[in-house]
Amino acid sequence: MRLRLAILLLAAPLLAGAAPRGPAPAAPAKTKEVGLDELRTRCYGGRAKPANEVALSLWLQSATKASVEGRHERAVHWLRRALRGGANELDLIPSYIVSAEQTEDELSDDALSACNSLMARLRPEKKD
């Protein structure tokens, strides 16, 4: 009788679903993947209405001229305008980052992080 009582007393908490000792393990944080449009917005202001080829060419030419002259604020302006108008991001974002870092108003950490993430997402995967 005592043996049954002892077994019952030991097994009762397990049968009743006793709470585990200590704090419950934290659930893994769900990370929401940021979309390309949000990365574009954080990096250079996002896409606008697509520009025609003549305008894109003029903006890129102006950005190049400003960069050569050392006017990095103007280069950033023209590069941002070209990016917003639909220019090739893989070609222009590195120049945009370098020019922006040369200005007094450097890119914020959030914008720099967004630009790097955008480049990583757009870069085609290499197949061996």
State the residue range of the domain holding 43: 33-122
Section 53-82 average pLDDT: 96
Residues 6+ apart with CB under 8 A from 102: 72
- 1 in any annotated domain: no
Q: Are 121 and 42 in contact (CB under 8 A)?
A: no
Q: Domain total for the chain?
A: 1
Residue 24: inside a domain: no
Contact 44, 96 (CB under 8 A): yes
Examine residue 21 and state whether it is found in any structural domain, yes or no. Answer: no
- Given the structure tokens 């995967």, which residue do they identify? 125
The whole-number pLDDT of residue 77 equals 96
Amino acid at 2: R
pLDDT for residue 106 is more than 90 = no
Rounded CA separation 104/94 (Å): 18
Mean pLDDT lowest for which of 60-74, 75-89, 104-118?
Answer: 104-118
Quick check: is 15 in a domain?
no
89 found inside a domain: yes
Q: Does any domain span residue 56?
A: yes
How confident is the model over 29-62, as pLDDT tens digits? 555 677 999 999 999 999 999 999 999 999 999 9
